[in-house]
């Protein structure tokens, strides 16, 4: 019995088998955090670009832009994201005339890799920007 208790062969393999799934999960979670940060940054930049377009192309400009054109532009500026998961909300206060305030909010449902494995709902990210119509 003492001989069996003194034998340490295979302990490292058992410890590796116990720790490895946790290391893989931590790696995947850090990958997902990086992807979510990229998605948030992308929608925030898209909102800034879209609100700038809306500000420059108000009703009184030489080339006015419709809400649909601004929305399409915002989606096109959300680089690297699934366009079908993007919702764009554009609001003019009080109108799209010069001096009014335009706000663009972009909502994106980001699928997490670990979330798919664990059957979790998508992470909802939102970016917004406001500017005065010129």
Burial 78-111 (b: 16+ CB within 10 A, else e): beebeeebbebebebeeebeeeeebbbbbebbbe
Q: Structurally, how many domains does the chain consist of?
A: 1
Q: Is 133 exposed, middle or buried (0-12, 13-18, 19+ CB in 10 A)?
A: buried
Q: List pLDDT tens digits, range 80-109.
A: 999 999 999 999 999 889 999 999 999 999
* 28 pLDDT more than 90: yes
What does the pLDDT read at residue 9?
79
Q: How many CB atoms are closer than 10 A to CB 62? A: 5
* 5 pLDDT more than 90: no
Confidence of residue 8 (pLDDT cuts 50, 70, 90): confident
Residue 39: name the closest of 54, 16, 31 by CA.
31
- Residue range(s) defining the domain that contains residue 94: 2-132
- Of residues 10 and 52, the one with the higher pLDDT is 52
Sign of CA dihedral 116, 128, 70, 39: negative
Q: List pLDDT tens digits, range 110-129.
A: 999 998 888 999 999 999 99
């Amino acid at each position: 019995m003492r001989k069996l208790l003194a034998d340490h062969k295979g302990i490292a393999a058992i410890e590796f088998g116990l720790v490895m799934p946790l290391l893989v999960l931590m790696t995947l979670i850090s990958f997902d955090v990086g992807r979510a940060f990229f998605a948030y940054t992308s929608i925030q930049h898209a909102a800034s670009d879209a609100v700038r377009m809306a500000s420059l192309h108000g009703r009184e400009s030489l080339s006015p832009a419709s809400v649909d054109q601004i929305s399409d532009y915002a989606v096109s500026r959300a680089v690297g994201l699934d366009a079908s998961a993007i919702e764009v909300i554009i609001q003019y206060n009080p109108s799209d005339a010069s001096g009014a305030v335009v706000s663009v909010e972009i909502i994106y449902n980001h699928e997490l890799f670990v979330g798919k494995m664990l059957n979790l709902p998508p992470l909802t990210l939102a970016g917004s920007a406001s500017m005065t119509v010129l």
